[in-house]
Structure formats: structure tokens, C-alpha cells
Amino acid sequence: MPSNFRLLPLAVLAASPAWAAGGSVAGNVKAGADSPFSWVVYLERAPSLSAAPASAPRKEIVQQDIKFKPEVAYVPLGATLDFPNRDKFYHNAFSASPGNQFDLGLYRGGVTKSVVVREPGELDIYCNIHPDMYARVLVLPSPFYAEVASDGSYQIKDIPPGKYTLVAWSPRHQPARQEVRIEAGRQTAASFSLKARPFPERHMNKNGEPYGRYK
Amino acid sequence: MNGCARSLGAVALAVGLALAATGGSLAGADEPPEPPPPPGGEGGPAPSPSPAEPANPPPSASSLSVFGGVRLRFTGYLDIGFFDAAGDGVAYVRDVGKKLHPEETDVPWVFLGDPWSNPVNSQGDSADLGRDRTTIPRFDPIASGGKPSFLVNMVNLGMVGGAGEKLLFEFSVDFEPRSGTLGSSGDQIDIDLAYLEWMPWKSRDIHVFAGKFESTFGIEYRRRKAPDRPGITPSLIARYTTGTPTGLKLRGSLLHQKVTYNLGLTNGTVTTEKFAHFFDELDTNAGKTVSGRISFQLPLPFTLEVGASGLSGAQDLQPSARDRYNQYGVDLQLVAHDLTVRAELLRATADGGGVTRAPSLNARGGFVEAFYQLWPWAEVLGRADFRKARLLTYPNLYLSDTARATVGARFDISPNAIGKVEYLHIMERTGPELDDDVATVSFVFKF
């Protein structure tokens, strides 16, 4: 899914030769019997994306069959989220998540509306008229992240030495955090065990009211 | 039907003019505060894809924050129509001399047909209620006499407010400009909704209502208002299911909304005020009405919801708690891509009689309707419905056995502007066949 972003860290690192002498962090992420679908491990408070490419990437989240597709995504800070409406009727996309609040209004089939994500963190995105539509997007704060493999393993390489917060994120589990110290030329071990959380969560419409006239 | 055929051209012209007049300017309006018709196919306009436009739209400005955190939001709509009813606009006839029903010796007057089977708008106003042949007081809101007419179907204004995340209120007022008679202005004002809604737990879908709220019976009430209704007119059984009762209600869901439930304790039934006979704003007896519905959403590749409703209580508009009104029914809603199908069946009985000679009722009816989203801006619909009833409102006995076939279309010009056109063919299955078909057009602007 977010494969179009996988090369981004490399591009940033190529522009920063000092980081090439960094260390790495690796480990496992587990959450009971759940498979690591769209799980990500990333560094908080790491060097920012100031060296990011001028043209920020885009991520398309399609509105089709009264669903957001995909329902889960992760994007770098500054990315543009495109919401094409491919149903024949109206849709909306809004988020009340702190830092990235937006409301694209109602728009008809065939129209695409977009939003730029300006704050790192998690966005829960809903449609104001279809309560069963939801998407959860993680806005990554730094180029230092890795998608968790199907066996639960991960590795983030070429991290500048220093002390960081390492976060394991899953759309259906509580994010878990660890403090890690990265040393040049060495691999630090860090593993996580995640606890489940509801997804989608019960939510109101954009006005903070229950949906519809089904009262 | 001749009358309707005569004006079908006018109807088409009216729709065309409405579309032409509004399409250009309103089609660009894309930041409306109030949603258009909900799931699966009632919304829907306009064609041409537009390129992505990078922007950072601000959070909704549709609600206001005033007075220490209380959120307020205004709602409403304007519904303007044009209709033509065949014949003299009346959908029932007197059985003169009881030639067809000589067995009805206990009542002075027998009428055949259904006075409310030829509605011209979403609130179900009949094209004409006919001459007041008896002493029963009644208000005839349209009284068209079979003449085509423009009319303002309704002006609706409302407000939704919230204090914190757990307490909401809503009220909604209907205004209907009508011709006055004998010193009456004729204009109607009806407080349609006025309730408090309390959600005790944020993580659980449980809502407690107090006041005057939406029905607890069936599914048609969900789309009873003009902006929400795919077509224009209500079904023949809407009179039993879409009223807004006063009392207490509990509504919630389980298993991620796969099971929903509704339970009401109210003054009276959920029949509509306009159809009278079984509706109290304030109770006239000590008995209360218990009503409820439970529905299940089945695990299928498409959306299929099936539900069952029941209602029982002391009959309205009479002093005794012993005279009963009972009603039960089943419903179904299917949404598969661009097709939506809904159906409902019910049975209603009222004892009647007593010291006030309260009305008695024995009715059954139902409808099946389908909507198909043809293009993003256009939807076609069809409905078949029936109602068989024996309604005694002394000294009148109405014997109805009516079936209807309805076709129509809906044009979502913008999120705020909707044009609709509908034709109803009405069949009286017993007694004389009446010339009472209706062609009607509606233009709705909502906010």
C-alpha cells in the first residue's frame, strides 16, 4: 500500500552523508495472533524532513462502494491526501484529529478533493453522511521508519547517533513507545507487544452530533 | 387521468425550468452544512470529474459556538411544488344509498376509496379532501378541486445544539402557507420535533430521548422529510408510522450496529397529525403507548437490514385506558451498489367506541419501493403500495381497498438543491374506479 513512500528515507539519507555512519534498530512486534497488517515502527524526535524532496508525495484514498479504500495508510509529513469520489452519490471527508483537522465539504461522484497533512500523528478520517466510512492514516514525523514484515520483524537503518523515542504503530492496536539510544555502527534491539484498540472507533459527525435521522 | 395527462407537459416544463434555473449557479456550491440523503443511493449529482485541487480546507464552520461552549447549528429547507390531480382531486366517493354496502346499517354514511391516497407532497397532503358532507370538523389544506396549482409545500426551520459531548437538543418547526376560510388564516405551524438527546456513554451507542421525537416504528420515518425522501409522496401506510410522538425513547445498537433497537414510552401512537383520529399531542387518558423496533443487519456482500416493529397502548383522543390501539409490522432494506430496495408491511387495529364514540380501525397495508442511481445527479424510482382498511369515525365509515403504482425521478442539482417529479396511478380495488391520479413536482432547497 504505501510502497510509493518506501524510497523516501533513502532519498533523504543520500542527501545527508553524515547519517550514513549511523546505527540501526531492529526487533519484533507482536500483538497476540494478529498479523502485522500495515504495522509501522518509526522514530519520534528524529531529524526532521527538512531535507525532504521539494515535491511532497501524494496518497490516494478512494471513496468507493461507501468505503474509504484503503482504510489504513501511512504517509510522510507534508504529503497530500487525495480523496476521489468514485461513487455516484455525494461523499464528504473530514477529520477532527488534533493538528490535522479538515473538512472537504460534500462533493459529487467524479470529483477529487485533497488535503495536505501538516502535523505528525494519527488522523481518523470519516464521511459526514456515511457513518460506516472510515480511514486511519499515520503521518510519519521523520524519514526513519520501517514497515513490519509478515513475521513481525523490522529494522530501521542509518540512524544518526542519539537518543530517540521509538514507536510501534498499528491501526488496530495501541501505539507502544520505547526510549532507545542509537550508536554509530551498532544495532540496537527493541521489541514490542501491542494491545488491541477499537477500529473504527465510535464517532460523531463533523458537528459532533450522532449521524442521520435514525433517531 | 385526463387531467394529469393534460398537465404532464407542464410538469416536464416545470422540472426543466427548475433544472435550468438552478443548475448553473448552484452546481458549484460544495460546502453545505447539512448532508444530502444518506446511504447507498439517494444522494448524488453531477457528472464532470474535476482535477484534484490541493488545498487545506478548514474545519467545518457549520456550527457556531456560543454561550460557554453550547454549539448551535441552524437547519431547514424550502419545498416548492406544482401538482395536477385528475378528476375533481378527490380520491374517495360516497356510497350513495349504500347501494354497494347495504349491510352497513349502523352508520349513516359509507365512503369508498381513501381520502389520503392522492397526496401531492412529502407530508401527504391530499389534492382535495372533498366536500364536508357531515358534521365531522376537518381542515382541507389543499382543496384543489382538481385544478393544477403551484404551492409552497413547506418551510422548515430548525436548530440543533449540543452542550458537551453527551447532551444534544433539536427542534424543528414546519410552516405551511395555505388558503384561509371563514376567518382562519389557513396557514399551518407545526412543531415537528423538540427533544433532548442524552448519550450517557461515549463508547456505547445508547441514546435516551425526551420530548417529541422521531418514530419508533418501521423504516419510512427515516426519510419522511422532503430533502431525505427519494421521491415526493409518502406511502399509503406512512400515516401509521411517521408521526412524531411525545414521551421517552431509548435507542441503541449492539455488535457494531448489526443489531439496533428502539423502545418508546409515549402519550400515543406514531400516526401523523394530519391524518388525525389516532394522535394526541397531550394525552387524554391515563394509558401510555409502548412501541419498539429491533433490526438485524445480515452478514452479506450487500447491505440487508430486516426489522420488526410493534406498538400497543391506550387509544388516543378518548378518555379510557381500556380501549386499545395495536400495531405490528415487518420491514426490509437492501442496498446493493446503486440499487436500493425497501419494503414494509403492517397491521393496525383500534377498538374504538367507548363514551366518546372513538374511531375504530382495522387496517393492513404495505409498500415495496426501489431506487436506482442512474447517474451521479439522477435517480429513478418506482413504488407499489396498498392499503385495505375499515375506518369508522362516526358517522362516517371509510371502506378502503386501494393500490397504487408510483414512478418518479430525483435530480440532485447540488448538495443544497433537489428537483423531483412523480406520477401516482391509483386503483380502487373495490367500488367504483375513480379518476384520481396525481402528477407532482417538487423543488427543495435545504441548508
Chain A CB within 8 Å of residue B214 CB? yes
DSSP character at residue B219:
S
Among all residues of chain A, which has the CA nearest to that of B374?
A: A88
Do A169 and A146 form a contact (C-beta atoms < 8 A)?
A: no
pLDDT confidence of residue B25 = 38
Choose among B40, B60, B251: nearest Cβ to A103. B60
The side-by-side arrangement of strands in the sheet containing A134-140 is A72-76, A134-140, A121-126, A94-95, A102-103
Secondary structure class of B19 (helix, strand, coil)? helix
- What pLDDT shows up at residue B140? 84
Looking at residue A85, what DSSP letter applies? B
| Cα–Cα distance for residue pair B325/B278, rounded to 1 Å | 8
User: What's the pLDDT at B39?
Assistant: 40
Cell readout for A169 is 504503530
Q: What are φ and ψ of residue B272, in 5° steps?
A: -90, 150
- Shortest Cα distance, chain B CAs vs residue A68, angstroms: 14
Q: Is B222 on the interface with A (CB under 8 A)?
A: yes
Rounded Cα distance, B163 and B168, in Å: 6
Among the partner-chain residues B60, B203, B337, the one whose CB lies closest to the CB of A94 is: B60
- Whether A187 shows a pLDDT value over 90: the answer reads yes
**Closest chain B CA to residue A198:** B203
Q: Which residues of B touch A94 (CB under 8 A)?
A: 59-60
At the topology level, CATH places domain B2-446 in Porin (2.40.160)
Nearest CA in chain B to A64: B337
pLDDT score, position B215: 95
Residue A153 backbone class (left: φ over 0; alpha: ψ -120 to 50; beta: rest): beta
In this structure, what C-alpha cell is assigned to residue B271?
400516526
Q: Which cell is B210 given?
A: 425526551
Hey, is the C-beta of B202 within 8 angstroms of any chain A C-beta?
A: yes
Q: Which grid cell is B91?
A: 380520491
**pLDDT band with cut points at 50, 70 and 90 for residue A10:** very low
Rounded to an integer, what distance in angstroms lies between the CA atom of residue B209 and that of residue B193? 11
On whether any CB of chain A is under 8 Å from the CB of B365, the answer is: no
DSSP assignments along A40-74, one per residue: EEEEES-S-GGGS-SS--EEE-EEETTEEESSEEE
Q: Is the pLDDT of residue A14 over 90?
A: no
Q: Are B418 and B34 in contact (CB under 8 A)?
A: no
* Interchain pair B31, A106: CB under 8 A: yes
DSSP symbol at A205: -
Q: What is the pLDDT of residues A109-166, one digit of tens each?
A: 899 999 999 899 999 999 998 988 999 999 998 889 999 999 999 999 999 999 999 9
Query: How many whole angstroms separate alpha carbon B61 and alpha carbon A184?
Result: 50
Instruction: Give the position of cell 457549520.
Output: B62
Task: Name every chain B residue with its beta carbon within 8 A of the beta carbon of A92.
Answer: 35
Look up residue B84 and give its three cell numbers: 395536477
Establish if B54 touches chain A: CB-CB under 8 angstroms.
yes
pTM: 0.82
Task: Judge contact between B77 and B444, C-beta under 8 A.
Answer: yes
To 10 degrees, the CA torsion angle through B352, B353, B354, B356?
A: 100
User: For residues B417 and A117, what is the distance between their CA atoms, to the nearest angstrom?
Assistant: 32
Task: Please give the Cα distance from B432 to B363 (Å, whole number).
Answer: 20
pLDDT number for residue B37: 42
What local confidence, expressed as pLDDT, does residue B62 receive?
53
**Measured distance CA(B217)–CA(B210) in Å, rounded:** 17
**pLDDT score at B53:** 42
Closest CA to B39 of B219, B162, B205, B238: B219
Question: So where are chain B's domains?
Answer: 2-446
Compare all CA atoms of chain A with the CA of B44 and give the residue at the minimum distance. Answer: A89
- Residue B431, chain A, CB below 8 Å: the answer is no
CA distance B305 to B46: 29
pLDDT along chain B (447 residues), means of 10: 50 49 39 39 34 49 64 93 96 92 92 94 92 66 92 96 88 92 81 95 90 96 93 96 95 90 94 71 88 94 94 88 92 93 97 82 97 92 97 90 98 94 95 93 96
- Of A103, A210, A215, which has the smallest distance from its Cβ to B213's Cβ? A215
Instruction: Tell me the shortest Cα–Cα distance from A116 to chain B, in angstroms.
Output: 6
- The answer to whether the peptide bond before residue A70 is cis (omega within 30 degrees of 0) is yes
Q: Minimal Cα–Cα distance from A146 to chain B, Å? A: 28
Q: How many CB atoms lie within 10 A of CB B350?
A: 25
- CA-nearest residue to B73 within chain A is A207
Pairing of strands A187-189, A173-182: unpaired
Min Cα–Cα distance to chain A from B136, Å: 35
Percent of chain A surpassing pLDDT 70 = 84
Name the helix (H) or strand (E) containing A84.
strand A80-84
Say how far apart CA B198 and CA B277 lie, in whole Å: 32
Closest residue to A113, CB basis, from B53, B162, B197: B53
> Residues 141..200 of B with a Cβ closer than 8 Å to A: which?
160, 162, 165, 168, 197, 199
What phi and psi, each to the nearest 5 degrees, are found at residue B11?
Answer: -65, -50
Mean pLDDT of chain A: 85
Interface test with A, best of B56, B255, B379 (most A CBs within 10 A): B56
Identify the burial level of B210 via C-beta atoms within 10 angstroms of its C-beta, where 0-12 means exposed, 13-18 middle and 19 or more buried: middle
The sign of the dihedral angle between the CA atoms of A107, B382, B258, B366 is: positive
- Kindly state the DSSP code that residue B202 receives in the 8-state scheme: S
The answer to whether A37 and A72 are in contact (CB under 8 A) is yes
Three cell numbers, residue B335: 442496498
**What Å distances lie between residue A175 and A32, A192, B386, B400, CA to CA?**
15, 10, 56, 64
**Residues of chain A whose C-beta is under 8 A from some C-beta in B?**
65-66, 80, 82, 84, 88-90, 92, 94, 96, 101-116, 118, 128-130, 132, 202, 204-210, 212-215
- Tell me the CA distances in angstroms from B28 to A129, B23, B62, one per residue in order: 19, 9, 18
Residue type, B388: K
Provide the terminal-to-terminal Cα distance of chain A, rounded to the nearest Å. Answer: 38
CA angle at A143 for the pair A141 and A144, rounded to the nearest 5°: 95
Interior angle at CA B306, CA B422 and CA B342, nearest 5? 10
Query: Which positions ≥6 away from B46 have C-beta within 8 Å?
Result: A108, A109, A110, B27, B376, B377, B412, B413, B414
Question: Is B36 within 8 Å of chain A by CB?
Answer: yes
Task: Give me the numbers of helices (H) and strands (E) for chain B, helices first please.
Answer: 2, 19
What is the residue-wise DSSP string for B288-349?
-EEEEEEEEE--SSSEEEEEEEEEEEEPSSSS-SSSEEEEEEEEEEEEETTEEEEEEEEEEE
- pLDDT tens digits, residue range A49-70? 444 555 678 999 999 989 999 9
Q: What is the per-residue pLDDT for A43?
A: 93
Nearest to A129 by CA among B32, B427, B339: B32
- Residues of B within 8 A of A103 (CB-CB) are 57-60
Q: Would you say A91 and A127 are in contact if contact means Cβ atoms under 8 Å apart? A: yes
